[in-house]
Structure 1
């Protein structure tokens, strides 16, 4: 009996074939799980997403929407969307964006985004409250392999944005977005710090004041 048949641990990587992964995510028991598949292993995330995670999740979406609106940058945003490369990889990041010329890449009616048909998103973001090590490790390798252009990790507990530019299946740390030129990680980090003490309306107003400079 395989490890997958014996039990199905969640929030960790488990050896599995692609067919076993598809069977697992189709199981009603895991209908609310976020699924990842990479390098012959699967990960189903079932951990509850509490208040700190959800608030930072909102802030980063709001910040990017405000920034691109003010700068006149075309944008197509996705919340918990599934990206699939059949037979080899799948990801369901917290937030992802197609930017600029790619903003109209995926038709509205598409459900799971087939990366054999459509290009990968330009920017992928994971909000890490309890999954930081994995977000910096295996998921980073996964997004490198999928060919996204930029990957951010929001470290909720340390109020930090860890951003990477991805090129040629490798990545390097950056302090300013390359897909959203002019957007500095330091500004986002300050917005997260302010959100610990003030409501989202006030944080959004502060972000507007920074982006309009």
Structure 2
């Protein structure tokens, strides 16, 4: 498949073989694109460039690291990292974490994380500004099959976080993280609301005061 000669649809699922998907996602023109593969279909997303998506991504990531530091949870976070089960599925969450006993599971120098060799991330997060329906639907199924323990969707427009605990190939909505013990999802949503009125420095100070109570 000659990518420069075709118009590739983005932000939608397209029927494709694994080899076709790899040829497309490895094209230099799509170096910054995010790729997903599931149920013999692929989805290519161009990176978001807007303030709202970037801001919510930043504060949620900061909050997770802050909580882990304060509560003594071992954790390693990864932005836009690719997880690949060769020939079967691939995902590139906005942010993901290895937590607890798996915090140091991925050796330094690893590029694409091969899930035939390494465990999946403990927590995967998608920040959704325009892709909320897909994040709740097909991607939720993808992450269930990927084997994460927890999956969050940050709904930028509605300032809401949908958090799911994943087990036995299915998921259920939760109000408190099961992998970041004691972390209330409502508290993170309040932090997001505050970012609409104040800068991240002040929101960080507020989070710190709440986490230390």
- Length-normalised TM-score, structure 1: 0.96
Contact 1:120 1:146 in 2 (8 A): yes
Which residue matches 1:124?
Answer: 124
Give the Cα–Cα distance (whole angstroms) in 2 for the partners of residues 70 and 32 of structure 1: 34
Instruction: Name structure 1 gaps, 5 residues minimum.
Output: none
Report the CA distance between 1:7 and its aligned residue: 3.9
Report the CA distance between 1:111 and its aligned residue: 0.6
Which residue matches 1:28?
Answer: 28
Contact 1:36 1:92 in 2 (8 A): yes
Q: How many pairs does the alignment contain? A: 210
Where do 1:84-99 residues align within 5 Å? 84-99=84-99
Which residue matches 2:167?
Answer: 167
Which residue matches 1:12?
Answer: 12
Where do 1:61-210 residues align within 5 Å? 61-210=61-210
Q: RMSD between aligned alpha carbons? A: 1.2
- Length-normalised TM-score, structure 2: 0.96
SS of equivalent to 1:118: coil
Give the Cα–Cα distance (whole angstroms) in 2 for the partners of residues 86 and 106 of structure 1: 17
